[in-house]
Chain A
Amino acid sequence: MTTAPRDDIRFLLGDEERRLRGIDPQMTVLNYLRLQERKCGTKEGCAEGDCGACTVVLGEADGKGGLHYRTVNACIQFLPTLDGKQVLTVEHLKSPDGSLHPVQQAMVDTHGSQCGFCTPGFVMSLYQMWLDGGTDDRGAINDALAGNLCRCTGYGPIIEAARKAGGIAASDPVEHHRRMAIADRLARLTSDKAMLAIEHPAGRFFTPKTADQLAQLLVTHPDATVLAGGTDVGLWVTKHLRRLDPVIYLGDVADLKTVAMVGDDLHIGAGATYSAAHDALGHLSPDLGELVRRIGSRQIRNAGTVGGNIANGSPIGDMPPALIALGARLVLRMGDVRREIPLQDFFIAYGKQDRAKGEFVEKVIVPKPANATQFRAYKISKRFDQDITAVLGAFAITLENGVVADLRVTFGGMAATPMRARQCEDALRGKPWNTANLEAARQALARDFTPMSDMRASKEYRTLVAQNLLTRLYFETTSPGVATRLVGAEAMAHA
């Protein structure tokens, strides 16, 4: 470590500089805005990152001298994660002369607010769209707004407002200059490039800047809570009222944010958000891209990481089953020692993963599917967008002359961990891909799993739908004329 750590959180609130010392590092950005700054435009609707009423826009250096903006849920982000960033809230959009921002005006003109409580969050998501240049495409609007719930309007006028508001051109000179100026201020604000080391009676908080720093911190504090996007850990604090000590945040670790093809393998650093990895995953397979599109919401994907989705070991995480079916590998690191394991071996039992104390997930390596391999991922939930999966089926199947040369079948939501369906695979491997063997494989699938019943689905539904997803795979790989999808790029546009 070359630079001594510092203990004041530095960021821009709109155009105003803040340096905060002695503040509880587990205070959420939302509580800070509402209780400390008395900026009450940003609302709390759920305190778990699901309703979007707390949406704010974060600006940070894009590494190319410019500024990158993204929406996040302020209710589950901790204050130190703002270090070196600009935070914009609904209060910042109006012009100094009092005139409304185009997205605000569009919302007023289309009657896009009724009770108005969700509105600030929608305005910030619309503002992000405007910063990105705007769009007329309904699908893109849906994706941008999936993380904002409205209970009054039914969304129609808000969709219209999104279309009407338009956007700012990336080449706009005034906007370009403004962003450069902010980037410059942020760079100067954190020119020490120091990590934060906050000692507070409520708990300690560290923000390492390099993977080496992270590795060393974890050796020193093997029981630390590793925080990435906070889309899960945030709820431990807001809902379970847990106090975490210490917290090590890996969102500022630059060398963990890599998303790169190395040969035929996609390497995703543990700090890369879903949003950052989305395109690359979509290039590996359209279904993988579609799956990422349906994980959480824009705000969640802007914060949550692929690595976090793996490391937290949830049996209903969406990435693990898909990545296991693709034969992904995981790199774990403790101190300077690294080991690489097949992803499927990481999940030992419910709540138990193959990760030692002081060890962390450094990256996941996803091999590109072979040309002959067809990959499908099917996510089943009560609602298409921003819902937690009831059953996720992922299939990598290689057909040679109508025979299943190889396949990997992995399910989420069917067991205590994401898991391969071995008996199902065995029932098909080397066999002709026909309805008789499909039926045998469906029966085998029922033997592979003993799912449970909960609020998302009954065990009977889970079993039946898992079998039916195999049937969907059969249709899609044998009868291209048969429509099988209601949403996504594969859906029947003509329907």
Chain B
Amino acid sequence: MLETPDILMPTPGLSGGVGRASKHDSGPKHVTGEAVYVDDINEPLGTLHLAPGGATIAHGRITKMDLSKVRSAPGVVCVLTADDIPGVNDISPAHTHDEPVLPDGLVQFYGQPVFCVAAETREQARAAARLAVIDYDELPAILSIDEALAQQLYVAPPHVMRRGDATLALSRAPRRRAGRMHIGGQDHFYLEGQVSLVVPMEDGDVFIHCSTQHPSEVQHNIANVLGRPANAVTVEVRRMGGGFGGKETQAMQWAALAAIVAVKTGRPAKFRLDRDDDMIMTGKRHDFIVDYDVGFDDDGRICGLDLQYAANCGFSADLSAAIADRAMFHTDNAYYLGDVTVRSYRCKTNLVSNTAFRGFGGPQGMMAIERIIDEIALTIGADPLDVRIRNFYGKTDRNITPYHMVVEDNVLPELTNDIVKSSDYRQRRADIAAFNATSPVLKRGIAITPVKFGISFTTTFLNQAGALIHIYSDGSVHLNHGGTEMGQGLFVKVAQVVAEEFQIDLDLIKITATNTGKVPNTSATAASSGADMNGMAARNAAIILKNRLIDFAAGHYGVATDDVRFVPGRVQIGDVADIGFAELVKLAYLGRVSLSATGFYATPKIHYDRETASGRPFYYFAYGMACSEVMIDTLTGENKVTRVDILHDVGRSLNPAIDRGQIEGGFIQGMGWLASEELYWDDAGRLRTHAPSTYKIPACSDYPQDFRLALWSAGRNVEDSIHRSKAVGEPPLMLAISVHRAIADAIAAVGDHKIIPVLDTPATPEAILRAVSRVAAETAGGGR
């Protein structure tokens, strides 16, 4: 058993260790351009470059593919089609066998890669790829969720989650409201696009430098594609230029194609997608349609909910089943829903296959219930905050989720008290009402929304991690684990954990690239689990080594093991000796002690029965609250976030600077999803927003003028997580729902809060103006 002491303050005298605002280990390399990304690696002599050839229809059969001009174009070395795949033509991550590397005749979305060119230069490859002549026999394309629902086209079977009798509860409810909400998707827009560099090795093996969050899956799937065992493929990831879920499964196809070229030609092969191709050919956050019927009492307390999600999964399953499940798991967000039925449909459409994106379905689930709460508040004429508080999970009763898990760690009442005070919400709400009464064009709005986010992969077996630590005879430490660094600061956090264990400075620890040859069978760096799991695995490896050193020292100096103590930079051996860490390591080496160890971690307590949709899928919950204030222009729908207050519970922070970065960055990314980022497909199924010129992520001026972020000082994980910290990668994204709700509040001001605004996401100027116009028209028409 591990004893985990509370970490209140960083250990004095130690430059590393947990609880400290250590800088990102790559910071100095980022700012000088010295940090090496896959495309920056010195290319081995003779490296070939790949480019994809995309389909120009959304659905149909290829009747003829004339690639002769492609093959004869300058610099072209080889052209791949489905026929050239040596092993299994499938890269579906959940083994649904519905996602070919290159399709064998059937095109399933506009832009789907149907062939691929390798040439001496990237420009030659891109130019050649445009010379294909392809004839199709077009089939009807399903381009919307509603069409897929009507035809019952799914990538995975529908799923139901149920507690109590929602139908009965609804029929008895004093008040009832039904509605429908469209929730838009989101492109990851990692700044570094998809890229892989594959180097052929002896025996037909390959070494792959890949920008991926899931090196093990890339390894395993590429082994299948090549028709080789997993040990023929090594995948290495030093860092990604952003991931956000978009490099969990979406790196696979490009790595696979480059691997085939490398094996086929015996030359290194690089595949780096152009931004437009990247946005057209890789999956995004799922867009959803949510239909709901909610029953509540006169105080706005929910007594029953019947809610249906329909997720646009695109043409294949990818991770959609788990994503749609996570939406269901977050139907409640922070609220006790009474009797509830949640149904979920995983719709198959002729669009790119949607995939993981920070929050993994959770954001869509929460967005729906937060709008429902606001609609209840407007219906009964109450402050939405009060309706939220009335519906919060209880501590001892009203604390069972729709999936029958007891919420044991609820801190929302305390967080709410704190943020209502620190944000001065009540006074500001009154001030805003006064402002709106005298401002005919600009209207302000404010909203507080909570986040309760379940931590653990809901697919239980994924909750495992490994680490590898070597201590060299000079006392320097080589740290490796299965987690990948995509900017989130995982590497420095895990290094801090190891530094804490050994009581050594951070700069004695070399953080090394994730490599499937060092730590095998890893899970994706996803589900916010990176630091929780890899931190624990690394800590376990460090404890093994530390115990070996303690045993050695006790024997060497003739003291009890209890008398050997690691203190900052040194080891105290009773009153016999006080030596440096490196000195002890040297002695242990000479004493023939193994200085290398692996560590492993499997998250305890969790279990889930998907058949009955019940169990404890989550080890714990991460909580946060945000208060956002906005101003909208009722003539144009333009909008601006003017102030944001965030109070977030990261437990005992491993690194407050990194955690703040995750919270702030996640919030702004969520703001983009809910406001400016709009994916637009035309009637032919072509994505028309496939570059930053047309797809608008937040820019610098969108960062609110007044942004107040605090880590909740009382935070402490009740579970035995790594140093009682809490996962922080995904939860803050959903704090941005407060922005969307504040916009809706401003729109409601147009009708004096008597008309319920219908605002979907994203709340673009157009969507806002449409909602404003409806409220104005209904107000003129005499209200509801």
Binding site for A on B (CB under 8 A): 21, 23-24, 26-37, 39-40, 42, 123, 126-127, 130, 188-193, 239-244, 274-276, 435, 439-442, 444, 486-489, 631-633, 635-640, 642, 657-658, 660-661, 664-669, 676, 678, 680, 688-689, 691-694, 696-703, 705, 707, 764-766, 769-770, 773
Contact = CB atoms under 8 A, between A and B. Distances in A.
Contacts of B189: 149, 151
A115 B699 contact: no
A339 interface: no
Interface stretch (A246-254, A275-283, A382-390, A396-404): A382-390
Interface stretch (A342-350, A415-423, A450-458): A450-458
Contacts of B702: 155, 383-385
A492 B661 contact: no
A100 B658 contact: no
Given A116-B239, A486-B442, A111 B633 contact: no
B441 A117 contact: no
B126 to A, nearest CB: 6
B32 A90 contact: yes
B442 A152 contact: no
Given A123-B31, A152-B242, A468 B191 contact: no
Contacts of B769: 461, 464-465, 468
Contacts of A108: 23, 27-28, 31
20 contacts: A40-B39, A90-B31, A93-B32, A104-B28, A114-B488, A114-B661, A115-B192, A142-B700, A148-B700, A149-B189, A151-B244, A152-B488, A154-B667, A156-B664, A159-B700, A382-B696, A468-B635, A469-B635, A486-B632, A486-B640
A328 interface: no
B636 A468 contact: yes
Contacts of B693: 46, 48, 50, 388
Interface string A444-475: 00000000001111100100110011011001
A154 B703 contact: yes
A119 B34 CA distance: 11
A120 B241 contact: no
Contacts, number: 274
A50 B691 contact: yes
A114 B665 contact: yes
B26 A472 contact: no
A495 B642 contact: yes
Given A115-B242, A116-B487, A90 B33 contact: yes
A155 B680 CA distance: 26
Contact of B33 (A120, A155, A385, A475): A120
A108 B33 CA distance: 13
A141 interface: yes
Given A113-B27, A151-B244, A241-B127, A142 B701 contact: yes
A64 interface: no
Contacts of B243: 115
A14 interface: no
Contact of B701 (A53, A382, A384): A384
A151 B191 contact: yes
Contacts of B440: 475, 482
B241 A382 contact: no
Contacts of B439: 482-483
A94 B32 contact: yes
Interface string A28-44: 00000010001111111
B441 A483 contact: yes
Given A53-B191, A456-B694, A100 B31 contact: yes
A119 B699 CA distance: 14
Interface string A132-166: 00000010011101101111111111110000000
Specify which of A149, A152, A154, A158 lies most central, judged by the most chain B CB atoms within 10 Å of its CB: A154
A473 to B, nearest CB: 10
Contact of B692 (A50, A454, A468): A50
A484 B441 contact: yes
A445 to B, nearest CB: 14
A439 B478 CA distance: 74
Contact of A111 (B23, B28, B37, B688): B23
A234 B597 CA distance: 54
Nearest to B127: A241
B442 A483 contact: yes
B733 to A, nearest CB: 11
A79 interface: no
Given A111-B661, A380-B765, A45 B442 contact: no
Contact of A45 (B35, B192, B696, B705): B192
A164 to B, nearest CB: 13
B551 to A, nearest CB: 40
